[in-house]
Structure 1
């Protein structure tokens, strides 16, 4: 009864397993990747910073209110014509106010509208820097999508490869079990020695160990794929795919090199880093120049109460100039540091160009190498299959030793594994080459 229930459970699990193709896995990864979500938020931050930089060039409205204390009370003014002491302020009733009794403090309240006129390039530099930073965030978002796509292809193809390896190992195990059973019968009939049986048992243990290892690899890669695609709670069945032949024939390496150096993500990010450093240098230089602002303010001053500050309100306007003329060379040092950072980014841009050339050349060479290796591994597999078929017949006829037969079987098993790896590596190498052009 337990066996029947177990079979029914396996059948139900297989029935509800989700079939997943490589294209579907890539699409799900792009939609569910947490790394892409983080890059998307960083891109939004870049857009907000750029908008904020533009707004620094617009007028600002501020309210200013304060209470201050003075060292002395307000002094009386003396009339020059009569030579007598006159009180300068008159109350609303027409009587003189005695300033000697006024307090040593007062309230001010005003609304100020300020418009930057000249900031030494700080505003323009801030806008250029924010624009470069926003571009970097946008490019990093695309780069993250590129990397997630490549990682998904790697994980998916690894699982397919390990499943094929597992199939080859299980086939090998069945073949060895058949030979082991035959050898036990032969040993009982004293047609072979026990050493032959032990050699087969060693080979069986080795295969069983490899099966456990490959199953673990499948489980780990499947877990990673489920996390990346957001399908943690589903059983997945991956659809096999075929790797085309002669992928290198569609590659124009010289043209791709120009594309990679001018418009690839790595090249554009490096160039925008230079632009950002240049903008930072402009902002640092502006700190040593005067700042000019036009302003309009409306408000008043009152000694008695904050509520009365707008009883004597008035409009004022003008231009304010501020210039930090001496700060022990701090502003100059900031500019020099920013200038050195700019030079560093220009060198990094040159390094990025060199790395692009090296990486693209390496990736192209790897495609060519693995293309030839795949052909070689296919030929090796075909030869191993033919040799194993011949050696099996010879072994059954007693014309081949147990060790030679086991060597032939191990060679076939390894040839299958090597071909699976060469095919997967070939696909990933081609996709990695393409990713360098994005």
Structure 2
């Protein structure tokens, strides 16, 4: 029993659903759970690491190098002994040189001014000796441990520019992440308000259905009393079927919207707090709207990146200076007598390219052209987005006027229908006239919902463009 309760408790988070979800709660869930936002966040982290990588090059590189070698190559063996500070005259073959040399000295002492037989005045026979110790040494082990440090001292400002470029690219990736988040929040708010509008539409349709059912009951009574025909009742029931079909379609659309909302928040949503009001229009100047736009901000940062890129290419015409330091020890046994056989090397290198076929100049000119192109793109982004904002604001104002007019039309068609219904009961109107007015009321309600839907979407689109209320 305890195991069962534990299993149920562990499974509860997986079975949790969102009931009566408010708009703010939905937006918070998107910020926390949306998978596309999480992907964009990982891209930001990658750019941050790229910036750290670029900055890190300024501090140079320190390597620990350990070599374990064995060789009988004459050059290698002699070099090994030199690095181990163990080279001797014997390694040069002096053991094979001193014996003949001693004979020469003895002969010269015994016969001053003369040479032993076989020796020329230039002593060529001694010089032609190929010492075995030097040319054919025994194989030797060699272990070398050393620290190597290389650091750029001056590279024409290239590393500094790279660091600034990667910093800007990180900032751009954050704007990209914000744009993804804005889009998901925009879709969430749009879906949330659409559900509210559909719910409101269903309520209106249910009221119309109630009116049609009342009409159906009245016609039924009039048919029973002989004041109406069966065809009248069939027409009313046909209208009732149409209203039921519209209600069912609206409920299916609402269910689909709930499924999409669940996808956006990455959790199951079964109900929301329905909103009856329309989305308020943002209140700010045109300049504020443009300054908040993410695409324009990205364009400005892109321009700064191209400015820095010009500096990177310009650095190719300047000298590059680097420093090098090495400290280590070597022996035929690993880490043997390290401090007695240690050695160091330090140095500075200057490298200055004088000519490479004008390729650096071509790259520099290309970077300048790219910078000028980016300046035009910034201007184009400003003008294009300004035009887009103007079109959206004009559309919203038009929809506001249409909504105001349609609200009056809904009230008017409802009163007309009620009037026709009353006159039908008095025998002054045909059932066909009543049903036409009922259809006009339904059409007016549908038009109002559709226009409110379009108007809200335009406001959300504007908020998404101007990055309002989301940061």
Q: Structure 2 CA distance, aligned partners of 1:71 and 1:327?
A: 43
In the alignment, does 2:320 pair up with 1:291? Answer: yes
Match of 1:112 among 148, 162, 170: 148
- In the TM superposition, 1:229-248 aligns within 5 A as 229-232=265-268, 235-243=270-278
In the alignment, does 2:217 pair up with 1:202? Answer: no
Q: Structure 2 CA distance, aligned partners of 1:293 and 1:90?
A: 28
- In the TM superposition, 1:211-360 aligns within 5 A as 211-232=247-268, 235-243=270-278, 251-252=283-284, 256-286=285-315, 290-300=319-329, 312-322=341-351, 334-335=363-364, 338-360=367-389
Q: Structure 1 CA distance, aligned partners of 2:86 and 2:412?
A: 116
SS at match of 1:20: coil
Show the counterpart of 1:99: 134
Aligned partners of 2:84 and 2:330 also within 8 Å: no
In the alignment, does 2:391 pair up with 1:365? Answer: no
* CA-based RMSD: 3.7
Deviation at 1:399, TM superposition (A): 1.3
Aligned partners of 2:20 and 2:272 also within 8 Å: yes
TM value normalised by structure 1: 0.79
Deviation at 1:276, TM superposition (A): 2.4
Deviation at 1:413, TM superposition (A): 1.8
SS at match of 1:235: coil
Deviation at 1:355, TM superposition (A): 2.0
Show the counterpart of 1:3: none
Change beyond 3 A, Cα 1:91–1:155: closer
Show the counterpart of 1:142: 178
- In the TM superposition, 1:180-191 aligns within 5 A as 180-184=216-220, 186-187=222-223, 191=227
Q: Structure 2 CA distance, aligned partners of 1:284 and 1:17?
A: 56
Aligned partners of 2:51 and 2:170 also within 8 Å: yes
Deviation at 1:52, TM superposition (A): 2.5
Change beyond 3 A, Cα 1:160–1:91: closer
Show the counterpart of 2:56: 55
Aligned partners of 1:90 and 1:96 also within 8 Å: no
Aligned partners of 1:287 and 1:331 also within 8 Å: yes
Show the counterpart of 1:29: 30
Deviation at 1:59, TM superposition (A): 3.1
Deviation at 1:275, TM superposition (A): 2.0
Range 106-115 or range 89-98, more displaced: 89-98
Show the counterpart of 1:417: 446
Q: Would you say how many aligned residue pairs link Structure 1 and Structure 2?
A: 406
Q: Structure 1 CA distance, aligned partners of 2:50 and 2:337?
A: 38
Deviation at 1:373, TM superposition (A): 1.5
Deviation at 1:155, TM superposition (A): 0.9
Change beyond 3 A, Cα 1:412–1:324: same
Change beyond 3 A, Cα 1:358–1:128: same
Aligned partners of 2:190 and 2:460 also within 8 Å: no
Deviation at 1:243, TM superposition (A): 3.5
SS at match of 2:59: coil
Show the counterpart of 2:13: none
Q: Structure 2 CA distance, aligned partners of 1:60 and 1:177?
A: 85
Larger radius of gyration: 2
Change beyond 3 A, Cα 1:305–1:328: farther
What 5-or-longer segments of structure 2 have no aligned partner? Answer: 1-16, 92-132
Change beyond 3 A, Cα 1:23–1:74: closer
Q: Structure 1 CA distance, aligned partners of 2:433 and 2:335?
A: 107
Cα displacement string for residues 297-335 of structure 1 (whole angstroms, at most 9, x for unaligned residues)? 112566x56656956431111112345667666655655
SS at match of 1:27: helix
SS at match of 2:428: coil
SS at match of 2:156: coil
Aligned partners of 1:260 and 1:356 also within 8 Å: no
